[in-house]
Amino acid sequence: MLYSKSRKLAIFLSLTLCFTIGANLPSLINANPAVHVIITEVLYDAPNDDATEEWIELFNPSSLPISIESWTLSDNVGNFGLSGIIPSGEYFIIARDGTAFQNLYSISADITGSDLALGNSGDWLKLSDASNNEIDMVAWENEVAGWDIFAIDSTIRRISNVDTDSVSDWELSNSLGNPGTGPHIVVPADDISPTVSIDNIVNGSTVFGIVQILVSATDNDLVSSYEIFIDEELKSTTKFFNWNTLTALDGDHSIVARAQDNSGNWGVSLLNVIVDNSNYVQLDISPIKFMTYNIERSGSDPDWINVVKQENPDIIVYIETGNWDDGNNEQLNQHLVEFNDYFSNEPPYVGNTGQNIGFSTSGEAIMSRFPILSTTQLSDVQLDDGSKYDVSHDFMIWEIDVNGETIYVIGSHLKCCGGADNEEKRERAQEGIINYMDRLGDVPIIYAGDLNSFSPFDIGDLAPEGDLASGPLAMMLDPENAEYGQFTSTQHTFIDVFRELNPSKTGYTFGHQDPTLESRIDFIIANQHFIGDLINSTTGDAGPADTGSDHYNVDVFIKFDYIVKSTSISSIQSSSIQSTFSQSSSDKEDATGPGSLTTIITVLSTSILFSFRYRTFKSTKK
């Protein structure tokens, strides 16, 4: 298969219950068909003049019209834009020249003027939708391995609706073809809805504290999306949601779970619960464990999971999670379920991961036993001169409520590797994120991740191997530095947590799989709000750490109960924010995805009072 075929979501027709959740009107056009448009016939080697007589035929086998507005046809040398609507069960013809096509077949093409020059000695065609997802493809004369069909003064045509993306779907017509006709049929619409269940809550039960809602669904087709509503308000678009009932009034509440299949059918499960927090006792919390861990290529070695299970962090920032957002955050959700099952007597994790990353060695994610109030994904930052700078890896900023105190956790992955160009990329990204932190104001901040840089104070016996330089850390930790002091924060005093608590330990986080690269490049950096509250910090002391990743984790215990809450209000806070950032892929490390991404910032309003029913400083934590 030349390209991976995109599965399309069907339109949402209607939902009827004893009540209605939102207003969804039926659409006249199926913009996201489950049964997709197919390429059915191609004349690439014309009898007279290829430059005028080439044509391509499409067919809509679905039960609804399909819009092809902003779709494209492409071959090995170019692209041609499409527009229009293909009715159900109808063919659609794209011709090089309208007059030449009319002269050959005595009918008119739907679109003329195609500038694709289909190769007589081998070529391929790809049909893509407006989001550049592949819809269908065909190839000939071994331009793609295995596609050995060839034609001279004849069309090649699809045998039936069967679409395996292989040459077996196609045959030689031994004629100039029959544009606008063929054996292809309309596929009956799937009208069977998914069966949905809420697995871990009993209808009519009484709940309190933090309640995890787990949803499952089965269908004759693939389930493509999920939604969870509480009291008719959408809370999650995944299969689970951690509901903090302390933010709800005691009394009756409704939970609705919905699942949609690829044909647009919705299945629904509804139950009611009673919230009763009258006996919920808020206790003082013990020190919590914060950790950061580069899990290498989205967790390519499963031993990273055992590292997390042994460490048992309360908040963890993961680095290199680029695959976790695929399939509606499928991997993130799987790991959340696994860890919450494993730590069944702990408050459950909630999670969030960067979106539209596109490759496994980028992206950051978080799991937290405290509520995540907001998420911001930054693909560019503002430098001291006011200009915007596209970073190599997006920064992630999470607002977290720790027992009523709001802290900002920033996940960072600076550009890897040695060399002046990479060093420049790290330094400009660091300059910009320091400016972002200054705009947050005097608030608690933890900056954590793989900085691919050295501390300016790791010298002598602590000196690392390699040539990554120390510019980004000098900006944060050394305001008097002659070269980098000019970039230091105007709002914050930063602490290198591990070095503060371990002044004589090397604490290498990289190089255990290659001693020539031994270095400390993963950091937890805290600001002035945590002075005096840092208890102990370690690196890579879990049993499977050597195999779990090419990086060691870094962790720290923090006394959050002594943090003084800031009274300042950030100039960038809002109860509802949506923002779009532009991102160029040319500077993205190993990037293979599209050249731009849209980053949506969603800030959940309200301040949540959150506490643990049984928080203790357990001996199982190191």
- Residue ranges covered by each domain of the chain: 38-172, 195-275, 289-603
Q: What are phi and psi of 228, to 5 degrees?
A: -125, 125
pLDDT of residue 23: 32
CA angle in degrees (0–180, nearest 5) for 513-514-516:
155
pLDDT of residue 188: 72
pLDDT of residue 618: 32
Q: For residue range 432-457, what is the model confidence (pLDDT) as tens digits?
A: 999 999 999 999 999 999 999 999 99
CATH code linked to domain 38-172: 2.60.40.1260
End-to-end CA distance of the chain: 49
Any residues with CB less than 8 A from the CB of 154 and at least 6 apart, and which? 43, 45, 172, 173, 174, 175, 176, 177
User: Exposure pattern of 567-595 as b/e (b: 16+ CB <10 Å)?
Assistant: eeeeeeeeeeeeeebebeeeebbebeeee
Fold of 289-603: Deoxyribonuclease I; Chain A (3.60.10)
* C-alpha to C-alpha distance for 489 and 475, rounded to whole angstroms: 8
CATH topology match: 38-172 vs 195-275: yes
pLDDT of residue 569: 28
Query: Helix 326-342 to helix 303-311 angle, to the nearest 10 degrees?
Result: 50
CATH top class, domain 195-275: mainly beta
State CA 555 to chain mean position distance.
Answer: 25
* C-alpha to C-alpha distance for 49 and 14, rounded to whole angstroms: 51
pLDDT of residue 619: 33
SS3 call for 206: strand
Q: For residue range 65-90, what is the model confidence (pLDDT) as tens digits?
A: 999 999 999 998 889 999 999 998 99
Tokens of residue 177, six digits: 């073809």
Q: What are phi and psi of 291, to 5 degrees?
A: -145, 150
391 vs 41, 296, 382, 388, 425, CA distance in Å? 45, 20, 10, 9, 7
Any residues with CB less than 8 A from the CB of 403 and at least 6 apart, and which? 285, 370, 560, 561, 609, 610, 611
HSE (side-chain half, CA atoms, 13 Å) at 361: 11
Burial of 416 from C-beta contacts in 10 A (0-12 / 13-18 / 19+) = middle
Q: What are phi and psi of 220, to 5 degrees?
A: -70, -15
Burial of 421 from C-beta contacts in 10 A (0-12 / 13-18 / 19+) = exposed
Q: For residue range 328-338, what is the model confidence (pLDDT) as tens digits?
A: 899 999 999 99
* Amino acid (1-letter code) at residue 4: S
* CA dihedral of 394, 397, 579, 604, whole degrees rounded to 10: 150
Residues lower than pLDDT 70 in the chain: 1-35, 189, 280-285, 561-622
CA angle in degrees (0–180, nearest 5) for 187-190-193:
175
pTM score above 0.75? no
